[in-house]
Each structure stands twice: as C-alpha cells, then as structure tokens.
Chain A
Amino acid sequence: MLHGSIALGTAAWLLVVGAGIAALGVYSNTVGRSGETPQRWPADCGLGRVEDRPALVLIAHPRCPCTRATLGELDKLLAQNRQPLQIHVLFVLPPGMAQDWVETDLWRTALQLPGVEVHRDLGGVSARRFGARTSGQVVLYARDGRLEFRGGITSSRGHAGDNSGSAAILAILGERPSAALLSTPVFGCALFAPASLPDCSSCNP
C-alpha cells in the first residue's frame, strides 16, 4: 500500500516537474512581436548615419532581463567583427517615465561596449521607426542605406550562445551579404503595451 502510494506520488511528481520544465521551454522559445522594418534607412529616425559604413541598431528595453543575453551576444559579435561598423543602442523610454529610468545595468553595459552610441528613445518613436516591438531587435543597414538584416541575436529568451542572428550579421559584415533579407525571430520583453501601438501607417513612412 505504502509502496504503491510512493510510486504513484513519484509518477505525479515527475509529471508536474516535466510539465514545469516544458512550460519554461515554451516561454523561452516564444517569439516576440515585430513590426514592419523600413527597407531603407529611415531618415527621420533621429540617429545620424555615416554613409561609409554599415549601421547596426539594437533596440532594447532598459529593464528587460532577457536583453542581458542580447548585449552579451552583441559584445561577442563586435569582438568577432573586423569591419567598420556604426553601432547604435536605443533604450526605449516609455512616456511619462523619468529620464534616469533607462539608466539600468543594461544601459551601463551598453556604454562600456566599444564603439557603441547609446541613446534614449523617448516614447519609443525611433524604435517604431525601425518597426521594433520587442526588446533585442537588431537591424543592420548597408552602406547604401539598404536593410540587410533584422531580428534577434539570441536563440531564445535570455539564452546567450550560438545563434543564427549573430551568424547572419557576421556573414553579412564579412562581405558575404545574402541576396535576400535575412531575418530571425526576436526574443525579449515587449517594448510597448499592445494598446499603445499606433496604426502602422503612421510609424512607417
């Protein structure tokens, strides 16, 4: 009787633990939302672009814990890159929040990355210009202002390590551009509440 109860309890325990791990897996692999990224560098994005080099923009939520892995991957990517590259990291400051709301550990980490320009994005206007809806969105524009890559550089939420986004960017920067636009899923916190998303026509001129 006791053995039967223990066996039954153990089976139920394994089931619960398995279900919990599975739910965690599902969460980690849930792709964030994306908007329409302009095919050309948006002149009104508020970021200056140097025309002699590609421009990489990382749009991040300053408090998204998943973006910590993204910044780590960006650090790796920059270490592996040998090409001149203009890098912007946009931290979205939601309306109504104080200016120092964005100055988190992620902000400080981004400031320490070499060659990276860190910006506050008031109200996420610039993020919307780039069609970003999820923290960790990376866009890469070529020298001629053409969009070459958009997506995330982590393989799942908060998971550092090999990922197809970084590989694609390195491939593009390594003078092996793809004919087609390369795109990867983005994993991270939502930049905007769904209700605050405006009509796409107004944010994608």
Chain B
Amino acid sequence: MQPITSLPSALATDRTAVLLQESRVRIYEKTDHLFARLMLVQWLAGIVAALLISPRTWIGATSTIHIHVWAATFLGGAIASLPLFLAWKQPGRVVNRHVIAVAQMLSSGLLIHLSGGRIETHFHIFGSLAFLAFYRDWRVLMTATVVTAADHILRGWLWPQSIFGVFTPTHWRWIEHASWVVFADIFLLISIRLSNREMGEVAQRSELETAAQRLAQAQEVTQTGSWEWAAETDAATWSAENFRLFGLAPAAGTVTREFQLSCVHPDDRAAARAWTEQAMRTGEVAPTDFRIVRPDAEVRLLHLRATSEFGQQGKVSRILGTSQDVTEARRAELELRTANEALAKEVVERQRAEAEIRALQSQHELILNSISEGIQWIDKDSRIIFENPAATRMLGRDAAELIGRPAHAAMHHRRADGTPDPHPECLICAGLRDGQAAAGIKEVFWRKDGTSFPVEYTSSPARDPAGEIAGTVVVFTDISERRANEEKLLRQQTELRVLFDLMPAMIWFKDTENGILRVNRRVADAAGKTVEEIEGKPTIEVYPEESAQFYADDLEVIRSGEPKLGYVERMPGSEGQELWVQTDKVPYRDQLGNVVGIVVMAQDVTARQRADEALRESEHAQREIASQLESERARLIAAQAVAKVGSWETDLTTMVVTWSAETYRIFATDPDHFRGTHAEFLTLVHPEDRAAVKAAFADSVGKQGPCAIEHRLLLPDGRTTFVEERWQRFYDDQGQPVRAVGTCHDISERKRSEQVIERTLQRLNAAQEIAQIGDWEWDLATQAITWSPEVFAIVGRDPSLGQPRNYEEVAASYDASSQALMQEKVCRAIASGETQKYELVAQRPDGRRVQVQAMAVPRKNDNGEVLGLFGTIQNITERKQADETRARLAAIVDSSSDAIVGKTLEGIITSWNAGAERLFGYRAEEIMGQPSAMIIPPDRRGEEAEFLERLRREEGVEHFESVHVAKDGRRIEVSLSISPVRDAAGRLIGVSKIARDVTERKHAEAELLRSREAVQKLNADLEQRVVQRTEEFLAAAAEAARANRAKSEFLSRTSHELRTPLNAILGFGQLLEMEESFGAEPRGSVEQILHAGRHLLSLVNEVLDISNAESGVMTLALEPVPVDRLITETLTLVRSLERTLKIEVERVSPLGGGWKVLADPQRLKQVLLNLLSNAIKYNRPSGKVVVEFAPIEGADPPVFRFSVQDTGPGISPEKLPRLFTPFDRLDAERSKVHIAGTGLGLALAKRMVELMGGRIGVESVIGEGSTFWVEVPLAESPAAAIEQSGPIPDPASASVHSRTLLYIEDTVSISGWSPASWRGGRRSTCSPLRRGRWGWKWRSSIVRI
C-alpha cells in the first residue's frame, strides 16, 4: 500500500466545473422555457391588442380584417415560432438563446412600429434585455444589442417615424437610443459576472458537501469506518461509522491509542499492539484482522487497513486507516464452503442419474428412429410434440418445422382431391376430443413442398395419471407404393380385358365341364348375345344344338390334355350364315399340372377363303387390261404433244424420275443425257425459282390431293420458259409415300400474254389517275359490277369494301337528281344500244360533292343484243370551277366601267374590254395586236417605258395620273393602275392597265378650290357677326337676370310683408272663433274672415314658393320617404274637400306597399295635395278620383310614379302646353262654376318635382277626364340621388341637446297675444311631423319689451 501524499485537487476542480456547467445548463433550459412562455404570451397579447385596437379596415360600409390582426397572428407567430421550436426541441442549446434574443428584439421592433414609434414602447427593449440577462451569458446581450442597434440604424435611416415617432430625427438619434441600451448592458453584464462567480462558489461548496455525504454513505453501506491517528498527539480521530463498529455512540473529538487497544479482544490485543507499533515505526503495514469486544460483550471481527503520511523528518506523522466489520462475511464464507461441499455431492449423484436417463432415452430414440412408420406425439391442443425420423422423411420437413405446430393444419388440412379437410372431421382431432382410437386408410398427408401422399394411420389417445387426455400417438405409413401397385394391377386387368375383347379371334375359356368361364366380345358378337349372357353358363345353354359338332371335341381335348391346333371348319353365324373359322383348342393346367379347363380360339377366315376364289378369277381379266393400257399410253403421248403437257413420275423411295416424251421436249433435254433423277430435274429449274419448287415438293408430303406450282425453266440453250407443274403423291398401306405422278404444262405463251396485259393495265390505271378517269363495267346477266381504282377514288368509296354488289350501291354514290339522270341514261343505253354521255354529282362520304362526267357504252353480242354496259367517269370538278371563275372574271372585266387593257412586255395590246372601247373609241378587233402607243400621246410615252422597266425590276407601280388619246384625237385625263401579269411559273409575261377617266373630277376639283376660298371669306364675316351678337345677347341676358332677381326679390319681400299682417288677422280671428259668447251672426262673420285670410295666406305662400323656385334659393331635403304614409297623410288632408264636393277618391297600389321614394316629404306631399285637390275641384259632380302609385317596371334608374286620375271635363290639347305656366288658369275664371285658385299650384309643383329629380306630366281626353302623373326616383340608389340635392343636415345630432328658441316680433299687431293664448291656441303646437323631424318640444313664454 502506497502512502498518500496529497488529495487529487485537479479531480475536484473538474468536478466543480462539471457542477458549474450543469448549473448553467439548467439555467439555460429554464430560461429557454421562460422565453418560450414569454413569446407565447407576447404573441397572444399582440393578437388581442390588434383585435381591440384595429380589428377591421374599412372601405365605405364594408370591412375586412385589419392587416394588423393578420400581422399579429402570422408575423407574430412567425417570430415566436423558431424560438418556441428550439426551446421545445433542444432546450439549453447555445443557438436557442441567440435566436431568442433576435426574436425578442424583433418583437420589440414590431411593437415600436405598431405604436408609431412611441417612446414608451422602447422600454420593451430594456425589459427584454433584463429577461435575456437571466441566461447569465453576456454573448446573448451582445446579439440582442446588435439586432436592436441595426434596427434603429436602418429604420432611422429609411423610416424614422416607425422607430423614433418623428419625421425628421436628428442623425445622432440612434446613438442616443443605442447608448441607453449600452448603459443597460453594462449593468446587466456586471450582474452576470457576479452571478457567474457566485455560481462557481456554490458549485465548489456543493461538491465538497456532496463528497462528504457520499463518503459517509459509502462507509455506512460497506460497514467500513475510517480513522486517523496523529503521531504528535498519539490520538485518533474516528468516523461515525467507526464508532458504530465498536458499538460506541458517535462522539466528537479523539480517542487514545490505548483506548483503541482496550477494545481489542484480549487474545488479539498483543498482535494489535505490535501491528500499530510497526505502522508507527515503518509506515508500512499489511491488512490484518482483529477481534474486538463491544460494550455489550459481542465479539466482532474487524479487517483493518492503514496507510501512512510522513512528516518533514521522514518520520511517520499520520496514519490513516479503515476498519471493516467482516464478522458476517467470514461466517458466510464458512457456511458457503460447507454448502459447496454438499452441493458437489448432489451434483455427482444427479449426473449419474442423468446418465442413466440419457442411456434409456437413447435406446428409445434408436427404436423410434429405426421404425419405418412415421410416429408422432400430438398433445391435447393438436400440436406436434414429437416425431421420429421416418415421419420427418415422409413429410419432407425438419422436425424443428413441425414441432409445436398444429398437426392438422401442417399435414392433414386437405383431402386427396384438394378440397379442405375440416378440422372437426379430422379423426385424429376427434380422438383427442373423445379419447377414442381411430384409424384412417383413405386420407393423405401433405408434404412441405405441397405434394401429398396416401397414408394409413392409427391414432391412439393417451391419458395422464389424472385420467385426462394428454395427447395421442399417431403412427402412419406411406402407402403410395402399395396404392400405385394396386392401381397398376387394376389397369393391367383393364388392358387385358380390352385386348381380350379386341383380339380378332373368338376366345372361350371353359372349365372341365364345358361350362363357359370367360369369352371375349367377338364371341358375344358372333353369338348375338352379350358377354354377361354367355359367361358362367354351360355351353349347351348358350349355343343351339346345331353347333354341337363345333364344341363336341372340347371335352375330348380336356380329357386328352393335348391341344388341337390350326384346323379350318365351318361354323354357323349369329344370323344363320355359314362362317369359316380357323380353330385352336388348348387345355390349360393348374400349378400341379392338372387340366382345369380349355382355351378355344377361333379366327374368322371366311373373307380369305372367298378372296382366294376371286383371285383366281381375276388373273385372267388382268391380262386383258394390260393390252388395253398399252394402246391408251400411245394415245396419251400424242395428246400431250398437242396440249404441250408432259407427264412424269417420281419414285419417292429412290427419287428416280421418269418423263414422257413431251416432258423431254418442254425441258429441251435429250433423253440420252438426262439421268432421270429429281436432283437433275432441279438443275433445269430457273435458279430464282428453285427454292420455291423445293418447298412446294416438300409441302406436298402427306397431302392426298393434287398440288401445283408455276415456275420458270432455264433451258440448256439459255432460254427461259414458264411451266405449270401439277402432281399428286401416292402412299403405300403404311402411309409411306411411294411415288409422285404429275404433269408439266408449257405456259410460256400465256405468261407473256399476261405480262403484256399487266403492263397495259398499269399504264391504263396511271392514265386514269392522272386524268381522274375511272372505268366501270356492268354485266347484265350476272349483275356483276366492276370499278377501276380511280372510280373508287372519285366517288370516295373505300376500296376495302369491295366492288358494288348491285346497281343500288352504285346509285347511292350520287345525289338524288344524279341518280334519276343516271337511271334514265342507263336504261336508254340498254334499250337503244347507243352510247350515252351525261354529267353527275357524286356525294362523297366525307361530305364533298364531286362533279362527274360519265359515259355508258353498251356491250353487245354478235346478234346485237346488249349483254352489259361499260364506260368511264371523270372528275371534272376543278374544270367546272375553273370555267366558272374564268366566266366570272370575264364578266367583271367586260362589265367594268373602267378601261382594262392587257399588253405584252413589248407593249402589244392583248386584251381590250368594253370600258376601253367606250373610253378610247377603238373596238377590240381594231386595236388587239396593235402597239399601245396608239392611245398614248408622244409626250407621255416615256412614262410607259418607265413603268415597264420598274415592273421588270420587281418594283411596284403606284397609282398615277396621266393623259391618253382617244380615237377621235381627244386628250383624256386618266387615272392609271398598272399591275404585272405572270404565268403559272411566276414569270412576268405582260402588264394589265386599268384606266379611269378623271377629266370631270379634275374640273370639279378646280371648282371646289375656288368655292372653298369663297366659303372661308364668308366664315370670317359670320364669325365677326356672331361675336357681336353674342356680346349683345350676354348684355341682354345679364339685364334679364337682374330684372328677374329684382322681381323675385320684390315678390319675396312683398310676400313676407303680406304674411305678417295676415298672421295678425288669422290669429285674432281664431281667438274670436274660440269666443263662446258670440252668436251665430258674429261667428259667421269671423268664419268669413278666417276663410278669406287662409286663402290669402295660401296665395302668398305659393307666390313666395314660386319666387324662391325661380330664383334658385329653394332647397329641398331629400330622404327616403315611405309612400304609404305619404299617400295616407295626403288623402287625410283632402278628406273634408272630398266630402264637401261628394267626390269619391280611390287609392290603387297595383304592386303593394312598402316602397320608398327619394324626395323631400313636405314638398312631395305639397305636389300630391295640389294634384289631388285639383282633381277633386275640377271634377264633375259625384265624380271619381283614382290615386294610383307604383314603381315603373324596367326603368333605369328606378323610378316611382304617382298618378291622379279624375273624371272631369278634360283639357283640350291646345291648352296643355300652358298648363304648368304660372298664373295661367286656362280660362277657368270664365267658366260657369267659379273655382278658387291662383294658377300657381301646377307651376310650383313642376319646379319642385324637377328639383327632386323627377318629372311631372298630364294626359287628358276631352269628356273623359285627365290624368296627372309625377315620377320621382326610387330610394334604391339613395347616394346617387342625394348627390343631386346636396347634403342632408342631421337634426338627430342636434337632438341630443336642448335648444332655446328666441322669437322676437316687432309687429304691433300680435303684441296683444297673451301667454295663455300662445299655450292654449292652435299656434302653440307644431305639426307632429315637423316636431318629430326637428325634435322640437315647445315651452313658450312671451315677454313684452
């Protein structure tokens, strides 16, 4: 053990640093979370503030969400998003706090901007810095400072009011703000520095405390006490655990060495003393154990370790040691040792028992492995627990694959035919359920590879000691081989039976008693019975007695045991006919050699017997036929020569070829030089056709019918001829080809003719295609119609549809009129036998119409009878169009009034239209072919040469004017238009000239010029006169306006002066009217005064209104006016007049109520009242007035119409224009019935309606009545209507304050009114409408001054 010299201070420092770093990380994480919450709060607060301060932005009456709300939501969210993410995802990371610092400063910037740069919001920056100081990381403050400084600089430069709230900040304003930030930074940095220092000290203290605690805990856990002995004081300092080890209560202070030794067991005390002395002397002691005796007399065993420290003189100054209570450990070691020994014995015993078990198990395994049947142990849950190698082999699976798997699903899930084998029907599973043994013989087990094999198995359930079914033992055998053998045997039996039946001979198996055991089908057929009717029956029962001879010797053969073979005898057939049979009868024996039966085989040889007889008869006839064949052959050779048809025969087994004489001639080959082989024949075939010939011969193998091919021969003299080969193969009885016999036809001449025809047809088709001519043919006998390809192309029929099947299909290609014409022409051609020409219009499937010229030619026989028709059709569409175009152009040229002249480049005239004849006087035949110089004066011929030269240079020639000469020598002013004439290849071949006589136009232009000058002079005079008249008119208008104003002013002033005394008259009249002491006569006088006064007041008011209207000072207050209320009020006002004159007033509203018009309600009511009172006053007795009001449908802008219809005498048309003239009563004063009026009402109504933007009018019929109408705007577009009338004062705003009205009257005439009369009289009230409108409430008092 090495002495300790010092503590590992470096380790302690590292630990402190770790603690400090952990503390910082905790602060970073907590502050990240703090800012995350702060960001969230700021974001939500921003949204709330935006919603409260500026929720919406407006456009007139419509609004949308204010951008500040969106900015607070999305921009604020964006600012907060990254800090939130980082704080949530990776709290405590360096990047977090810097990002948070940036976001917080941006939030401050945004807040300052939204507050308009208010200085108060700058405190958000200081608050943010203070919060950021929570990180205790000065770098974060630097980041925040840089961001806010940059924000101040940039915005102070670009948008100062956003950051400073002023428009023109000083240049150093940002420095001022930045200085405050730096000021705050300084304090925060100092705070951070102090805080970090405190954190370091706290970490150091924490580390020391933690170390002490851990040491105490370690000692307590390990029951190890520590002690320290100082040499200077010879005393030891014990740890608390050491006191506990010695059974003493922990106490402060030291213990002496003697006390320590006194605690040691007396038996160990000397050794302990020696151990301590050695330690004090040498400083090196080995660990040792001492027993101690506790105060409670308990003896404990301590394990002591010690190390020393040396002082300056090299002496031991201090011993540090540990004491560990090892009493239980030593005791446990002893007990463990004892237990180990017992356990070792147990292990040996168990190993022996296991060896015995393994041996027994090995024997069982050997047995199971050696058994060829598959054995499985399936538990009660149908799972395979064990299987032997035979089972594994048969099932094609490793045991590991099957063990533990459900047995049924693994190997027994389907039946042999592939259908599912349901689990409930499984015998093995059923055995597991009911405990019954089961055996399967018709089932299959399935291998791993999906194949199956038939099995025979047994399932024997086993029970555990408790009697419960523990599982079942399944023993199975693959019976594939046995099953295959069985099937093979069955198949062989079947095959034998078939062969037996197919044997050409009749076969009987009989027993020794001549009973029939088995026969084949031929026997049954010969006997006319079935096999079942014969087998098992005695022969005598099957065959009639007549056949007894045939089977009589069967018993003889049985008895003798010798076979009887190959003798022919007669035998009766099933229908009584006689058969010849060749019979063999053989006895057969058992294994002991005893004859147990006989086999009889009889073969029908009747046909052979008969053939032999026929053969003999035919030999004679053959000889006669041979002589006839020879003569036939000679005739054939002659015929071949005539027909140029040779014959040949090839022995297909030797490929030897035999040719006839004509064949040699066709092949131009000498018989002496032809070796007669098929190969040499091929050398004569043209090399280009040789492969085809070989292929044709090869393809004919196996064919029964004739084959043919056409090919060329390359003759020895170099000529090429065409031949047609036809041949047929013959086969022997086994189907093998034995020979081929054929002919060879020289078809060279036919081929040449066909080639000529082919070339002719090709040329014809090409010509038809170019000329768009097709030909057709119609055979009347067969009704067959043949079209050439060009016909298909012209009528647009798809050639793949084939030729037309009948005349109707042909006719369908043309339009209706063409079909009729075609039928007529065809019938005429057939009837008359003459060629017919006609034009048709084909209607193509694509919709195009094609004009066709057709010709039908009858085809006759020698007797002149028409056998059919043939002919052509030609597409003449383009030609027709060209003809039409040409005719149209010619008509244009001929009908043109201008002269159109064509000429060559040399100036020779080539065309001359009628216009040219009229202009120049030459006829076409006179001037065609003459030089154009005939019509050009000598002084202008240079122009002609010039424009020709310009046309040659491809330059255009503008219109120009020139002079030409007519036939009579007149000089004609002409306007010329020159154009080049080009051929189809674009070459310039001439020019065309259009000349127009402009002589008269030239004269007219000169005349026009002279007239224009005269007009200009006249205009100048007129303008001067207009100026003079205008000045006079303006002066007159000013004078008229002044006079009008003076008149209006006079009327206004007069009306005012009239109304003042009238008020006095009416007021006092009303007071008199209320006087109850008056009798009837005075009251009548008062009523007359009031009536006259009111009439006069009405007259004055109307004069005043008309005056105001004419002077333009009348103002209206337009507003939406409910029509229903307006009409009701108006009708109420005329109710008394209505009753007085007994006129019925009807109110009609076709479209219902609820409408509002844009008008001044008082003025409109005044207008309607005027119209209504007129209608009542000017009506006939007991007449009727109809007031109708409704909007005019479809009017734009919307208009509402009021009409008042009376049943009066009507107004004559000549008076209608005077109707709305002031003071014009249309001679009403001269009528018989006097009707009061001023003649101002309608004039005033007209002006008021027009001021309201409406119209007024009248329709009248003499004797029926009149209808006055007024149209005013609907209140659908009030804004537009309001603009026309000016602003509407808002009395409602005034209604919120009470107002005092002071009315000062200097008129003596009303000075006699008393307050009582004011309050109680009718004048003390205001009309409800006016009071409601202005909101006035009268509280009156009169003061006499």
Contact with A along B67-93 (1 / 0, CB 8 A): 110010011001101100110000000
| Contact status A198-B1280, CB under 8 Å | yes
Q: Does B1286 contact A (CB under 8 A)?
A: yes
Say whether A193 faces chain B, with CB atoms less than 8 Å apart. yes
With known contacts A121-B1287, A155-B167, A158-B116, A17–B78 Cβ distance under 8 A? yes
Cβ 8 A contact of B167, one of A27, A44, A92, A163? A163
B58 sits at the interface (CB 8 A): yes
A164→B117 CA distance, assembly (Å) = 16
Chain B CB within 8 A of A49 CB: no
A159 to B160, CA, bound (A): 11
Check A63–B75 contact: CB distance below 8 A.
no
The reply to whether B59 and A21 contact each other, CB–CB distance below 8 Å, is no
- Min CB distance A189 to B, Å, is 4
Q: Which residue on A lies nearest to B168, using beta carbons? A: A162
Note all chain A residues with C-beta closer than 8 A to B103.
17
CB distance from A113 to the nearest CB of B (A): 16
User: Does B1292 have its Cβ within 8 Å of any Cβ on chain A?
Assistant: yes
* Partner of A65 from B54, B62, B99 at Cβ < 8 Å: B54
Against A, the Cβ 8 Å flags (1 = close, 0 = not) of B389-400 are: 000000000000
Bound complex: CA A123 to CA B1287 (Å): 8
Contact B1278 A123 (CB under 8 A): yes
Q: In the complex the two chains form, what is the Cα distance from A155 to B1284 in whole Å?
A: 35
In angstroms, how far is the closest chain A Cβ from the Cβ of B70?
A: 9
User: Does A97 count as interface, using CB distance less than 8 angstroms?
Assistant: yes
Bound Cα distance A24, B102 (Å): 19
* A162: B residues at CB distance < 8 A: 161, 165-168
B57 interfacial contact with A, CB 8 Å: yes
The 9 closest A-B pairs by CB, nearest first: A46-B1287, A65-B54, A94-B61, A162-B167, A20-B75, A161-B165, A189-B58, A162-B166, A159-B116
Asked if A1 lies at the interface with its beta carbon under 8 angstroms from chain B, I say: no
CB pair A24 B75 closer than 8 Å = yes
With most chain A CB atoms within 10 A of its CB, the pick from B110, B1279, B1284 is B1279
CB-CB under 8 A for A63 and B95, given A44-B1287, A123-B1279, A155-B161: no
Contact A158 B54 (CB under 8 A): yes
Q: Which residues of the partner chain B approach A58 to less than 8 Å between Cβ atoms?
A: none
What's the Cα separation between A28 and B166 when bound, in Å?
Answer: 15
Chain A residues with CB under 8 A of B102? 14
Given A158-B54, A203-B1283, A125 and B1288 contact (CB-CB distance below 8 Å) = yes
Q: A20-B78, A120-B1290 are in contact. Are A156 and B62 (CB under 8 A)?
A: no
Would you call A94 and B1287 a contact (CB within 8 A)?
Answer: no
CB<8 Å pairs between A and B, sample of 13:
A13-B78, A17-B79, A24-B75, A46-B1286, A63-B63, A68-B53, A92-B60, A96-B61, A155-B167, A161-B164, A163-B161, A189-B59, A193-B59
| Cβ contact within 8 Å between A99 and B58 | no
Q: For residue B1119, which residue of chain A has the nearest CB? A: A122
A66 CA to B114 CA, complexed, in Å: 11
Interface residues of A in 12-64 (CB under 8 A from B): 13-14, 16-17, 20-21, 23-25, 27-29, 44-46, 61, 63-64
Chain B residues in 8 Å Cβ range of A21 = 75, 106, 109-110, 113
Docked-complex contact A192 and B78, CB < 8 angstroms: no
Within 8 A of B (CB), among A181-199: 189-194, 196, 198
Q: Given known contacts A17-B106, A65-B57, is B1287 in contact with A125 (CB within 8 Å)?
A: yes
In the complex, A95 has a CB within 8 A of chain B: yes
Total contacting residues, chain B, CB less than 8 A: 55
User: Complex formed: what's the CA distance from A27 to B54 in Å?
Assistant: 14
Across the interface, A159 reaches (CB within 8 A) one of B68, B95, B162, namely B162
Residues of B within 8 A of A27 (CB): 67
CA distance A163 to B167 in the complex (A): 6
Q: Does B1197 interact with chain A (Cβ within 8 Å)? A: no
**Binary per-residue interface labels of chain B (23-67) against chain A in the complex, 1 for a CB within 8 Å, 0 otherwise:** 000000000000000000000000000000111111111110011
Q: Contacts A9-B82, A17-B75, A69-B116; is A122 near B1282 (CB within 8 Å)?
A: yes
CA A129 to CA B1283, docked complex, whole Å: 9
Distance (Å) between the CB of B1161 and the closest chain A CB?
15
CB < 8 Å A-B pair total: 156
Q: Is B60's CB under 8 angstroms from A192's CB?
A: yes
Given A120-B1290, A122-B1288, does the pair A13, B81 have CB atoms closer than 8 Å?
Answer: yes
Contact B110 A161 (CB under 8 A): no
B589 CB to closest chain A CB (Å) equals 101
A202 at the interface (CB under 8 A from B): yes
Contact present for A125 and B1289 (CB under 8 Å): no
A window 93-144: CB within 8 A of B: 94-97, 99, 118-126, 128-129, 135
B96: nearest residue on chain A (CB-CB)? A6
Partner of B60 from A23, A25, A158, A193 at Cβ < 8 Å: A193
A24 contacts across to B, CB distance below 8 A: 67, 71, 75, 110, 113
Asked whether, in the complex, the Cβ of A119 is within 8 Å of the Cβ of B79, the reply is no
Q: Whole-angstrom distance between the alpha carbons of A94 and B159 in the complex?
A: 34
Q: A17-B78, A63-B56, A65-B66 are in contact. Are A125 and B165 (CB under 8 A)?
A: no
Q: Which residues of B contact A191 (CB under 8 A)?
A: 60
Instruction: List chain A residues, Cβ under 8 A from B164.
Output: 161
B106: chain A residues at CB < 8 Å are 17, 21
Q: Interface SS of chain B: helix, strand, loop or mixed?
A: helix
Q: B75 to chain A: which residues have CB within 8 Å?
A: 17, 20-21, 24
A20 proximity list for chain B (CB < 8 A): 71, 74-75, 78
Once the chains are docked, how many angstroms separate the CA of A46 from the CA of B1287?
5
B116 A65 Cβ-Cβ under 8 A? no
Contacts beyond the supplied A95-B1279, A95-B1282, A161-B167: 16 A-B pairs with Cβ under 8 Å: A17-B75, A17-B103, A21-B106, A24-B71, A25-B159, A46-B1287, A63-B56, A66-B54, A119-B1290, A122-B1287, A129-B1287, A159-B117, A160-B118, A160-B165, A163-B161, A198-B1280
Tell me whether A178 is interfacial, beta carbon within 8 Å: no
Task: Tell me the smallest distance from the CB of A184 to a CB of chain B, in Å.
Answer: 11
Check if B1293 is an interface residue, CB within 8 A of chain A. Answer: yes
CB pair B165 A65 closer than 8 Å? no
Let me know if A124 and B1279 touch, CB within 8 A.
yes
A75 CB to closest chain B CB (Å) equals 14
- C-alpha spacing A134/B103, complex, angstroms: 35
CB of A192 within 8 A of CB of B53, answer: no
Question: Which residues of B1053-1106 are within 8 A (CB) of A?
Answer: none
Tell whether A190 pairs with B1286 under 8 Å between CB atoms, given A17-B75, A20-B78, A161-B116. no
B1292 with A10: CB separation less than 8 A: no
B122 to chain A, nearest CB (A): 14
Contacts of A6 in B (CB 8 A): 86, 95
Q: Which of B66, B1282, B1293 contacts A123 (CB 8 A)?
A: B1282
In the complex formed, the residue of B with least CB distance to A2 is: B90
Residues on B with beta carbons closer than 8 Å to the beta carbon of A68: 53
CA distance A160 to B166 in the complex (A): 8
Give B168 Cβ to nearest chain A Cβ, in Å. Answer: 6
Give chain B nearest CB distance to A80 CB in angstroms: 15
The interface residues of chain B lying within 8 Å CB-to-CB of A193 are 59-62
Verify B74–A126 contact, CB threshold 8 A: no
Among B55, B82, B117, the one with the most A-chain Cβ atoms within 10 Å of its Cβ is: B82
What's the least CB distance linking B1024 to chain A, in Å?
33
Contacts of A99 in B (CB 8 A): 1290, 1292
CB of B1282 within 8 A of CB of A10, answer no
Structural contact, A161 and B78, CB atoms closer than 8 A: no
Name B184-242 residues within 8 Å CB distance of A: none
- Please, which residues of chain A bring their CB within 8 A of the CB of B85? 9
Least Cβ–Cβ distance between A163 and chain B, in angstroms: 6
Decide if B82 touches A189 in the complex (CB within 8 Å). Answer: no
Report Cα–Cα, A191/B78, bound state, in Å.
Answer: 32
Q: Is the CB of A122 within 8 A of B60?
A: no
Chain B residue numbers with a CB within 8 Å of A190 are 58-60
CB closest residue in chain A, given B151:
A21
Q: Which residues on the A side are within 8 Å of B1279 (C-beta)?
A: 95, 123-125, 196
A residues 159-173 in Cβ contact with B at 8 Å: 159-164, 167
Give A46 to B78 CA distance when docked, in angstroms: 49
**Complex contacts, B117 vs chain A, CB 8 Å:** 159, 161
